[in-house]
Structure 1
């Protein structure tokens, strides 16, 4: 089983029995979801489908979205991980690093801490040469995490379904190692 430990966090595979309800609560928060897709919240059933899809990506790709829990309490705070951004065909083939944390966990450095560990996992353990991250323009906190990771703007485009502007950031292995 793939796990990553950071000073404050455990990144691990999903356990639907334990993780479904807390992740569904995160997905039901309009503040969390406002930058994702069309901004719609997700219910328990949709979250169960998401977790199933995330686990399938682990099996198919050898990487995926990690469930993130606080080491101190064991509480699930959201996800950070890797995925293939199929919704944006113009960047393919690519692997994206992304995150979604519950609002009580914003502004404490958890996203940056976990994302740095996942970026290292992607480039050193999984042998990827390049990783991207995609944010809706205006989502400054996510773009700040991208900058902390050493990512640089790669292009501006539009979401192919919803039409809102997106900025793609990228980092390659040589930039990461520098």
Structure 2
């Protein structure tokens, strides 16, 4: 499955094996994983499995996270987009908006810009009735990005599977 969306500064496209170096840079950084359970990858093989899993999601569900590419430089910046989740916080089979950026791209509005495009895609193309967002409770930058995207904070909850406290957000298609 091929995706090719654009914003003012970004290209959002399907993840590819050619993104392996960028994915490894992203997910091997302990600071990137500070609010993700502190489990950075150790090998490129682990990053390859992540890309393969996303490609599998494209085939199974017609959606998955997208590569986040700098429009001017062509540089891989991380990922953004929608994902089908099977169960969390009492909700089953829901789509969430997510993003993860290489550290040097933090604080420049890329999560918000790409997240707004993902919400637009979810509502206009996939015709979803609602989308959710999830962030670790202490992750203030992600909290603010989700609010700027248009999601509303709902509640805090404890995610037993990962043993972390999370925040839950929602936006409805109106």
Q: Where do residues 83-94 of structure 1 align in structure 2 (5 Å cutoff)?
A: 83-86=83-86, 88=88, 90-94=90-94
1:86 & 1:21 partners in 2: Cα distance?
29
Q: With structure 2 as the length reference, what TM-score do the two structures score? A: 0.94
Aligned residues: 172
How much does 1:87 deviate? 6.1
> Runs of 5+ in structure 1 lacking a partner?
none
Q: Secondary structure in 2 aligned to 1:33?
A: coil
> Runs of 5+ in structure 2 lacking a partner?
none
> Which residue pairs with 1:41 in the alignment?
40
Q: Which moved more, 1:87-96 or 1:133-142?
A: 87-96
2:162 & 2:69 partners in 1: Cα distance?
32
2:57 & 2:89 partners in 1: Cα distance?
17
Is contact 1:159–1:165 with CA below 8 Å preserved after alignment? yes
Q: Secondary structure in 2 aligned to 1:40?
A: coil
1:80 & 1:64 partners in 2: Cα distance?
9
Is contact 1:87–1:160 with CA below 8 Å preserved after alignment? no
2:162 & 2:3 partners in 1: Cα distance?
34
2:12 & 2:147 partners in 1: Cα distance?
21
Is contact 2:87–2:93 with CA below 8 Å preserved after alignment? no
> Which residue pairs with 1:108 in the alignment?
108
Q: With structure 1 as the length reference, what TM-score do the two structures score? A: 0.92
Q: Secondary structure in 2 aligned to 1:168?
A: strand
Q: Which structure features the higher share of strand residues? A: 2
Q: Where do residues 17-166 of structure 1 align in structure 2 (5 Å cutoff)?
A: 18-36=18-36, 38-42=37-41, 43-86=43-86, 88=88, 90-166=90-166
Say what the alpha-carbon RMSD is for the aligned residues.
1.2
How much does 1:89 deviate? 5.9
Q: Which structure features the higher share of helix residues? A: 1
How much does 1:172 deviate? 0.6
> Which residue pairs with 1:3 in the alignment?
4
Over 3 Å counting, the alpha-carbon distance change for 1:149 and 1:62 in structure 2 is same
The answer as to 2:17 corresponding to 1:13 is no
* Regions of 4+ moved over 4 Å: none
